[in-house]
């Protein structure tokens, strides 16, 4: 059993030209940047900013966004090199297949399925809550109390139709909604400046205090359990713990890489889309976090709600602004759900095309040029999750899954530089291997600051993935069956595992 057989870059590129699996190339650098902003600005800026300031970081939540942003920036450089070198659908899954081998590629693909599906479902629930607040919908129809949450299910299914109709249409819809929500974010920043109270920034980094009893045991960060540290909030560890959670807010720039196969000039446009969207959103996140913690004291319980931005304006007597913010949140979260689902569709499409999942899932619509079978299946699955499954704490799984993907992509850059120095790289990570190594260390550190319960759930998901791979994927892989394989050079032939 060769568990680490590698799918060459040339073969990955050749697969994209197969008529039955060919995707339309319609996207530009602007489209990709809009996609990135569309998915990054969402739950993090509208929800997590206030919650993590209240629970972990205080006014220093701005520093948490800086820490998370630096980790993302390091990983973004690695993604940019890979995506411009191997412009194939699948993102980290495809990159891992070309460097670390099939088993690792399967693991990361399975991990991305968890990240994107669960992320879309979590955000759909948040969308439902803001919609209920904006229009005063009954509790049985939308919001946290709805079981099932019909509004969350409806938005997922509606966006599934958009995804099937074409990537360009998805980009246009995303572009319109991004303009609306960025305008609302800028309103929060500018209008909020007039209501800042300097006293709310004192102390900027609150002193560390023992965590409540509910944050002991499996709910405490793994690093505290490993080193026998007492569970705590605030202080330096609080900033890092908040960074691990608000990392969820940055998820999105890696989604840009999943659209590489549908980009007109991927070698140029993918790096621009990834890095551009990340830089814009980091600046907006820091500005919002500084303004909000100045408007409302971090100890105020209204910060720890599902709509802290709206609550901050209400606390200052600007009630009309809450409706405007809710509108921005509805628009913002709509784009997040759409782009997360697009990303998951492309990962599953790539895995199916490689035979690790049934190849029928990789069918492309003859008119729209989209992977419609997997898109419909994904839409139904995410709608069920969003409608009936209480997600709550599971949103942290999205962060650990993404960080794990970043670690493998960063390692892959170092490996591919050594194994395939001949490949054309229109974008190159500077100072290799040091930048990828820093990316790996930063991501591992953030993972260690997530709770033991999150790690346990993640391990269970990976075990389920191993079962599926060894019972189906390994024996049906196109690298094993030889279906559609390119002729390999002698030095690219598979070698038996020890």
58-83 mean pLDDT = 88
**Phi, then psi, of 263 in degrees rounded to 5:** -100, 135
Contacts of residue 208, defined as CB under 8 A and 6 or more positions apart, other chains included, come to: 232, 233, 234, 235, 236, 237, 238
Nearest-CA neighbor of 32 among 205, 325, 258? 258
Q: Locate 16 and state its tokens.
A: 């994209």
Domains in the chain, ordered, with CATH? 25-140+166-360+392-478 (1.20.1740.10)
Counts of helices then strands in the chain (DSSP H, E): 21, 2
The 10s digit of each residue's pLDDT in 267-290 is: 788 788 888 888 888 889 899 999
- pLDDT tops 90 at residue 487: no
DSSP states of 330-394: HHHHHHHHHHHHHHHHHHHHHHHHTTSS-GGGG---TTT-S-HHHHHHHHHHHHHHHHHS--GGG
Split at pLDDT 50, 70, 90, the class of 498 is: very low
Q: What's residue 491's pLDDT?
A: 40
Give just the sign of the alpha carbon dihedral 279, 282, 287, 288. Answer: positive
The 10s digit of each residue's pLDDT in 92-132 is: 788 888 888 899 899 988 988 888 888 888 888 878 877 88
Q: Please give the mean pLDDT across all residues of the chain.
A: 82
Neighbours of 147 (CB within 10 A): 12
Query: Could you check whether the bond before residue 347 is cis, i.e. omega within 30 degrees of 0?
Result: no
Split at pLDDT 50, 70, 90, the class of 298 is: very high
238-262 mean pLDDT = 76
Q: What's residue 302's pLDDT?
A: 84
Per DSSP, the three-state class of 315 is helix
Nearest-CA neighbor of 60 among 241, 216, 194? 241
Q: Are 42 and 328 in contact (CB under 8 A)?
A: no
Split at pLDDT 50, 70, 90, the class of 395 is: low
Q: Are 306 and 47 in contact (CB under 8 A)?
A: yes
Mean pLDDT comparison of 22-36, 248-262, 387-401, 411-425, highest-scoring range: 411-425
DSSP states of 93-150: HHHHHHHT-HHHHHHHHHHHHHHHHHHHHHHHHHHHHHHHHHHT--TTTSSTT-SS-H
User: Regarding predicted confidence, which is higher, 99 or 143?
Assistant: 99
pTM of the model: 0.78
Nearest-CA neighbor of 89 among 97, 100, 77? 97
- pLDDT tops 60 at residue 495: no
Phi-psi region of 486 (alpha: psi -120 to 50; beta: other; left: phi over 0): beta
- pLDDT tops 70 at residue 260: no
Q: Are 439 and 75 in contact (CB under 8 A)?
A: yes
Percent of the chain residues past pLDDT 70, beyond the cut: 89
Nearest-angstrom CA–CA distance, 364 and 371: 4
Comparing 38-42, 385-389, 449-453, which segment has the lowest mean pLDDT? Answer: 38-42
- pLDDT tops 90 at residue 140: no
Nearest-angstrom CA–CA distance, 25 and 262: 4
């Amino acid at each position: 059993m060769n568990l680490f057989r590698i799918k060459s870059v040339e073969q990955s590129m050749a697969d994209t030209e197969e008529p039955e699996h060919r995707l339309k190339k319609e996207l530009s650098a602007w489209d990709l940047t809009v996609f990135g902003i569309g998915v990054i600005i969402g739950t993090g800026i509208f929800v997590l900013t206030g919650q993590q300031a209240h629970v972990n970081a205080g006014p220093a939540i701005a520093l948490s966004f800086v820490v998370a942003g630096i980790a993302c920036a390091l990983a973004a450089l690695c993604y940019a090199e890979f995506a411009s070198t191997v412009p194939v659908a699948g993102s980290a899954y495809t990159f891992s297949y070309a460097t670390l081998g099939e088993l690792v590629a399967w693991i990361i693909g399975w991990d991305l399925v968890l990240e994107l599906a669960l992320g879309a479902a979590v955000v759909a629930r948040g969308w439902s809550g803001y919609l209920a607040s904006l229009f005063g919908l009954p509790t049985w129809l939308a919001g946290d109390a709805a079981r099932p949450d019909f509004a969350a299910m409806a938005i997922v299914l509606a966006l599934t139709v958009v995804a099937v109709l074409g990537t360009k249409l998805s980009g246009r819809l995303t572009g319109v909604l991004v303009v609306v929500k960025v305008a609302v974010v800028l309103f929060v920043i500018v209008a909020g400046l007039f209501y800042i109270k300097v006293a709310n920034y004192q102390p900027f980094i609150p002193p560390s205090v023992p965590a409540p009893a509910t944050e002991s045991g499996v709910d405490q960060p793994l690093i505290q359990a490993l080193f026998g540290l007492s569970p705590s909030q605030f202080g330096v560890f609080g900033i890092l713990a908040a960074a691990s959670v608000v990392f969820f807010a940055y998820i999105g720039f890696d989604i840009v890489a999943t659209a590489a196969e549908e980009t007109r000039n991927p070698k140029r446009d993918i790096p621009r889309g990834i890095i551009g969207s990340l830089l814009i959103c980091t600046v907006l996140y820091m500005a919002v976090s500084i303004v909000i913690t100045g408007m409302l004291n971090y100890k105020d319980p209204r910060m720890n709600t599902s709509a802290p931005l709206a609550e901050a304006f209400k606390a200052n007597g600007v009630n009309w602004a809450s409706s405007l913010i809710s509108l921005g949140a509805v628009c913002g979260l709509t784009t997040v759900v759409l782009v997360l689902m697009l990303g998951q569709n492309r990962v599953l499409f790539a895995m199916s095309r490689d035979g690790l999942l049934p190849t029928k899932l990789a069918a492309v619509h003859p008119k729209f040029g989209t992977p419609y079978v997997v898109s419909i299946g994904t839409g139904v699955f995410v709608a069920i999750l969003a409608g009936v499954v209480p997600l709550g704490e599971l949103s942290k799984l999205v962060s650990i899954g993404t960080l794990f993907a970043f670690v493998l992509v960063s390692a892959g850059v170092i490996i591919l530089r050594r194994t395939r120095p001949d490949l054309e790289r229109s974008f190159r990570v500077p100072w290799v291997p040091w930048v990828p190594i820093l990316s790996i260390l930063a991501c591992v550190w953030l993972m260690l600051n997530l709770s033991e319960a999150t790690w346990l759930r993640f391990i269970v998901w990976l075990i389920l993935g191993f079962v599926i791979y060894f019972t189906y994927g390994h024996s049906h892989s196109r690298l094993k069956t030889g279906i559609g394989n390119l002729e390999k050079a002698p030095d690219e032939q598979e070698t038996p595992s020890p």
